[in-house]
Amino acid sequence: MKPLLALNWKLQKGPAEALSWSKSLLEKLPSNLAADLAIMSPTISLSAVSGVLLGSKVAFGAQDVSAQGKGAFTGETAAAWLLELGCKFAVIGHSERREYHGETDFIANAKVKATQAAGLTPILCVGEKLEVREAGNAESFTVGQLEVALNGVEVNADDSLVIAYEPIWAIGTGKTATPDDAENMGNAIRAFLDGKYGAASAHIRILYGGSVKPDNIKALCARSNVDGALVGGASLELDSVLGMLNALA
Ligand code: PGA
């Protein structure tokens, strides 16, 4: 599989801006992409993004999804409806959802299952806070998150599942994990996935996220078990996205 460059727009780009940005992206995109490219748009902007990108080589998805299919769940968005818009991905368990919305690994587990059941690819985010890393527990903590969030989750084909390792201390702080940090954690996650899924682990890409930008993406993604990146801040400007694609080429 090619590396996956997943753009996490967070609470940026409403429908009008998402529409014009997506159009400009298609105009400027090189014909040969060194990575699979996907935009994680605000839910409200997904129709606009879909109107431009559906059928193109740029995939798209949501930043969160409901664990429920239907019913009295005010404010939620069902995975099946994301699929209806042409989404391929849904980000699940991002540290900002955990921090500001009380999402737990158990909730992430239910969301991963609902997402897969609808035919979408979950991008499950895990990663430790600074104090956990400083105490030397980064790997056991992160693998522990996976144990719960992947309980009963099956993997049988490419893109059944994507994991994003995002150390919380590196998100939006300008502090990137070193390529060694990213690789060490990638290896620990891979060892867990190999143990759980055997040969099917090869279907799962492990992304790194946290202050990724054009001048560090190449060194990070050159490492084993760093199969792409989930990018926040550097995903907002077109030039920076083109710069990251160029760096991966
Ligand atoms: P950042 O965000 O690239 O701005 O650090 C990454 C993320 O939160 O997915």
Burial of 92 (0-12, 13-18, 19+ CB in 10 A): buried
**Is 231's C-beta closer than 6 angstroms to any atom of ligand 1?**
yes
| Chain-centroid distance, C-alpha 150 | 15
User: Locate tokens 């990575």: which residue?
Assistant: 35
User: Please, which pLDDT band fits residue 246 given cuts at 50, 70 and 90?
Assistant: very high
Residue with CA closest to ligand 1 atom 7? 232
Q: What is the model's pLDDT at position 248?
A: 96
d(CA 104, CA 97) in angstroms, rounded, equals 9
What is the arithmetic mean of pLDDT over 244-249? Answer: 96
Whether ligand 1 lies within 6 angstroms of the CB of 6 is answered as no
pLDDT score for 173: 85
At 212 the three-state DSSP class reads coil
Atom of ligand 1 nearest to the CA of 164: 9
How confident is the model over 150-168, as pLDDT tens digits? 999 999 999 999 999 999 9
Confidence at residue 176, expressed as pLDDT on a 0 to 100 scale: 83
Q: What is the pLDDT of residue 174?
A: 82
- Mean pLDDT in residue range 51-78: 97
Q: How far is the CA of 125 from the centre of ligand 1 (A)?
A: 11
The yes-or-no verdict on residue 96 having pLDDT over 90 is yes
Report CA(50)–ligand 1 centroid distance (Å).
23
What are the sequence ranges of the domains in the chain?
A: 4-248
Residue 137 has pLDDT above 90, yes or no: yes
Look at residue 210 in the predicted model and tell me its pLDDT.
95
Residues pairing with 40 in the sheet: 8, 61
Q: Was domain 4-248 assigned CATH 3.40.50.970? A: no
Between CA 39 and CA 59 the distance in angstroms is 6
DSSP string for 171-194: SSSS-PPPHHHHHHHHHHHHHHHH
The mean pLDDT of 171-176, rounded to a whole number, is 84
pLDDT of 142 reads: 98
Residue 55 has pLDDT above 90, yes or no: yes
pLDDT at 110 over 90: yes
For the beta carbon of residue 199, count every other beta carbon within 10 angstroms.
Answer: 7
* pLDDT, mean over the chain: 97
Q: What pLDDT does residue 129 have?
A: 96
Q: How confident is the model at residue 172 (pLDDT cuts 50, 70, 90)?
A: confident
Asked if residues 5 and 37 have their Cβ atoms less than 8 Å apart, the reply is yes
What is the pLDDT confidence band of residue 131, given thresholds at 50, 70 and 90?
A: very high
pLDDT at 175 over 90: no
Q: What is the pLDDT, as a whole number, of residue 14? A: 98
For residue range 189-220, list pLDDT tens digits in order.
999 999 999 999 999 999 999 999 999 999 99
89-96 average pLDDT score:
98
CA–centroid distance, 12 to ligand 1, in Å, is: 13
